[in-house]
Amino acid sequence: MIIRCVPIAPSLQVRPISHQDWHQWQPLWDGYNAFYGRFGASALSSEITKTTWSRFFDPSEPVEGLVACHAGELVGIAHYLFHRSTTAVANVCYLQDLFVREDRRGCGVGEALVRRVCEDARSRKAHRLYWQTHETNQGAQRLYDRIADRSGFIVYRIALT
């Protein structure tokens, strides 16, 4: 199903996450995890959710959170972190989670969130911003192909726990 919407960019606010956002953030977080199949037996534990949430507000953590707001409602989230790299002196920025409420996809929310992460990364003198998406997430890829370069790398991983 394709959902069409009126662009909301003029009235969209992207800002750092705040403690008061918990009740609207959690359904977006849950939606993000469900989108990637993390439900049922493979669901993230409540401990992971609580730890993720607390990291946004801990100055010793490199994890940041942004929310996109429209008409008083959260319509998108972005979580990112800064880390060292062996290919640059400056840190790099990894956009780990990006999620837009289904009824707001295609309205400029995702792009606004990515652009705000870029601004923060530039202000912190990061060498680059990067992220990944699932090969089946074609909707997101349309945006990403328009605003960024594909690296050509394929991600491999080994679960250690």
pLDDT tens readout for residues 29-85:
999 988 887 765 456 788 989 999 999 999 999 999 999 999 999 999 999 999 999
The letter for the amino acid at 5 is C
Name which CATH class applies to 11-147: alpha beta
pLDDT of 40 reads 55
Per domain, the residue ranges of the chain are: 11-147
**Three-class SS state of 72:** coil
Residues 35, 99: contact at Cβ < 8 Å? yes
- Share of residues in the chain with pLDDT > 90 (%): 73
C-alpha distances out from residue 152 to 39, 123, 127, Å:
29, 27, 18
| Site of tokens 């990515």 | 114
pLDDT of 143 reads 93
Q: What is the CA radius of gyration of the chain?
A: 16
In tens, the pLDDT along 121-134 reads 999 999 999 999 98
Q: What are phi and psi of 108, to 5 degrees?
A: 100, 0
Query: How confident is the model over 104-124, as a mean pLDDT?
Result: 95
